[in-house]
Amino acid sequence: PIDLSARVNATLIGASFLIKKEWLEILAGWETKNKYVIMNEAGEQIYYAYESSDVCERMCCKAGRSFTIYIVDNTGREVMCVSRGFKCCAGWTCCAEPGSCAAHEVTVETLSGYEIGSVSQRPSCCVAAYQVQDQNKKPILNIDPPYCCDLVCSCDEKLFTINTLGGIS
């Protein structure tokens, strides 16, 4: 199989990810399928992503639900997908050891089913932190949250830092 991870990584360096909120979700609290616009540093859309998930899981399981997110280019051609299985106990930040029942984990694959890599939640204080792994489950990057262990965390935009394993941003 061809290793597409370098090409995907080069395309996504400096990209911004914006979620599109639906009015039904904002006004009524009804969980809709997520949609994202992925833009380059110049603010131009390079990809669009949309969620496929079950309505009952979205309403009852919220952040623990299973889903598949399809990423398409500007011509509408599917490029890759991100999938996650259901975990009822996931999201406990202090206990989120990769591979445990407490850690959120997603797999990134080409549409032919070749695994490009994965992202696993890792232990942290109060706010979720993640580790990016290659197709062989070798850690390659850490996604670190902003410090937010106060009793009151703001609902402002949260900027996560992507670092090498040696701590270089």
pLDDT in tens, 152-163: 555 666 677 888
Strands of the sheet containing 105-110, edge to edge, are: 16-20, 35-39, 45-52, 67-72, 78-84, 105-110, 115-122, 129-134, 139-144, 161-164
Whole-number pLDDT of residue 23: 57
Whole-number pLDDT of residue 62: 81
Whole-number pLDDT of residue 163: 85
Decide if pLDDT at 21 tops 70: no
Decide if pLDDT at 83 tops 90: yes
Decide if pLDDT at 9 tops 60: no
Whole-number pLDDT of residue 1: 41
Residues across the chain: 169
Q: Which residues of 109-123 are buried (b: 16+ CB within 10 A; e: fewer)?
A: bbeeeebbbbbbbbb
Whole-number pLDDT of residue 166: 77
Whole-number pLDDT of residue 164: 84
Calculate ∠ Cα 166-102-81, nearest 5°. 70
Render pLDDT for 92-149 as a digit per residue (tens, 0 to 9): 666 666 667 777 889 999 988 999 999 988 877 777 788 999 999 999 998 887 766 5
Distance, in Å, from the CA atom of 81 to the CA atom of 163, rounded to the nearest integer, reads 23
Decide if pLDDT at 15 tops 90: no
Whole-number pLDDT of residue 66: 93
Render pLDDT for 29-81 as a digit per residue (tens, 0 to 9): 667 788 888 888 888 889 999 999 999 998 888 878 899 999 999 999 999 99
**Nearest partner of 113 among 34, 33, 17, 4, judged by Cα:** 4
Decide if pLDDT at 12 tops 60: no
The answer to whether 107 and 118 are in contact (CB under 8 A) is yes
